[in-house]
Structure 1
């Protein structure tokens, strides 16, 4: 297409206008939300139909990775995708200067004449190319190694269970089960771990759904108001792809300082016990053999959390955990309530 035949370069001043351009791209593609989800998955992205519908129905600035997934599904060339992202970053910076609390409508009614030029063209090509993604070589090397490891391990012992392809339309991500759970491994789990890490949780991104990943899933579920079961289904991925992030918790030095102040009788013992129980990780969740869970710095059990009359989200608050531990210590005078072998 020559320059004369291209649409005029759009000007965007609000997040709502940016989303309107994305809606126009989706309309031009002629694809349904489910078809777009499949094409995004084929290009290596996660874009559930419900997430896409939510993004295009809002007037807030969408996440970069969701924009990339939509544009890749629509077949937008990689250089155009990058210009979309540059426009989004410029718009984010511009709106941040105007005040993060204002809505799009308030900014428009304020009479601002400043616009952010966008050199984007919402076109659709016949074959969707893969947009430029971060660390592509490293990511695909990991996936290849995981695939080889899976074949060798299953062939040798049969102890590990690979991810079997689901029936048609059973999951927004083709090739992945509708539910991921502990014991699984592979690219689908790798994708889950990358989402958890992007949303503020420290997790080893190795493609193995082990106890650590289960605990991190439970943390995200607790903060998101989801059923806390440690499995990842479509609803969980929808939340991970949205704007929700797990709050930043306390660093180790702050935890150590608070422990020493709260337990002046035995400050070193308080730090030692908490480190032994949770590694001084306020978001530590462990599942014990009977299926019950232990939460937070002092690993309070489900029963103890219930007796204190708090929810799981509160149990992950380091301040609450330390105060609750002090309450127990004040009755016993020692840390015998928490036997812990290093």
Structure 2
């Protein structure tokens, strides 16, 4: 069955029908939310399982970038992704014209002016809202949110005081904290992500300092012989401003071929385990709840990396990771060393 039949572009009349079509695409993929999140990340998109579950559980029109991330993770061809977005934009324009006044009235308490309602601020420390807006206003709304909630996040951090920030491209980012860390949001994080991408690391440039950004910061620190903290301080920004580039990682195709050659007894099993562990991303770094880190294709722990007598940079090398996995496989006779629950 070809892609066009498997994942048809919806002819949706409502946002609910559009979301229902996305649910069907996810169902047909046969992938779990965790697997989809890994695939999306490998393709350069940000799609946490919680975000995906929320999107598919609602009847509101989802954000464009979330739609793109899901379709990319499901392997939808680019030409069909464009058609999905066209359908979404048509719906957004139509629903925006029909329901804008009604939705504004519903959100404003009786007797309250729209000016008062518009000035209600979210509580500090909560995730910033992501309101849907008619297409012409969407770009400006996003820029405003980046600026406003960047300030709110800095305030919520408490101990992080605004300082004269590090310069990355010769012009300072006004109002940035001394240290950027996971959970922050705003233009300072956006700047960090842009320069990580420029230095050879694929990461969603969305202004959110999430696990993907933490992972890429750790990779840059490992290759730069910096303390691997997962946070961005002045020293990291100085390195980002230099000429250092992270070596290009292996493509998924190259990794698959190398795995099959290295594990001729069970080539499919080798690919399956590596995909489950890291999404076939040799630069994947996972941080557990206890702070322990796992590195590379086969997600070797800090303790294992130390026992093997290598540094973090080596642990991110695809050839080393596959070769070490083969040594373990030869001793144990299988992939029981790894426990990856999809």
1:341 CA displacement: 1.2
Partner of 2:217: 217
Partner of 2:191: 191
Could you tell me how far apart the structure 2 residues matched to 1:258 and 1:250 are? Answer: 10
1:138 CA displacement: 9.7
CA contact (8 A) 2:182 2:231 kept: yes
Could you tell me how far apart the structure 2 residues matched to 1:284 and 1:247 are? Answer: 14
CA contact (8 A) 1:163 1:184 kept: no
Q: Which residues of structure 1 form unaligned runs of 5+? A: 1-136
Are the structure 2 counterparts of residues 205 and 340 from structure 1 closer, same or farther at C-alpha, using a change threshold of 3 Å? same
Partner of 2:298: 298
1:144 CA displacement: 2.0
SS in 2 for 1:259: helix
How many pairs were matched up?
Answer: 200
- TM-score w.r.t. length of structure 2: 0.54
The answer to whether structure 1 residue 332 and structure 2 residue 329 are counterparts is no
Partner of 2:237: 237
Could you tell me how far apart the structure 1 residues matched to 2:217 and 2:233 are? Answer: 11
Q: Within 5 A, what are the aligned runs for 1:128-207?
A: 142-147=142-147, 161=156, 166-169=161-164, 171-172=166-167, 173-207=173-207
CA contact (8 A) 2:150 2:187 kept: no
Could you tell me how far apart the structure 2 residues matched to 1:139 and 1:246 are? Answer: 31
Are the structure 2 counterparts of residues 269 and 227 from structure 1 closer, same or farther at C-alpha, using a change threshold of 3 Å? same
CA contact (8 A) 1:219 1:285 kept: yes
CA contact (8 A) 2:285 2:299 kept: yes
SS in 1 for 2:327: helix
1:211 CA displacement: 0.8
Could you tell me how far apart the structure 1 residues matched to 2:160 and 2:138 are? Answer: 24
Could you tell me how far apart the structure 2 residues matched to 1:224 and 1:139 are? Answer: 35
1:170 CA displacement: 6.1
Q: Within 5 A, what are the aligned runs for 1:77-96?
A: none
Higher relative contact order (CA closer than 8 Å, sequence separation 6+): 1
Q: Deviations over 1:206-228 (max 9, x none)?
A: 11111110010000000011111
Could you tell me how far apart the structure 1 residues matched to 2:166 and 2:255 are? Answer: 41
Larger radius of gyration: 1
Could you tell me how far apart the structure 2 residues matched to 1:150 and 1:244 are? Answer: 28
Could you tell me how far apart the structure 1 residues matched to 2:246 and 2:186 are? Answer: 25
Are the structure 2 counterparts of residues 339 and 228 from structure 1 closer, same or farther at C-alpha, using a change threshold of 3 Å? same
Root-mean-square deviation (Å): 2.6
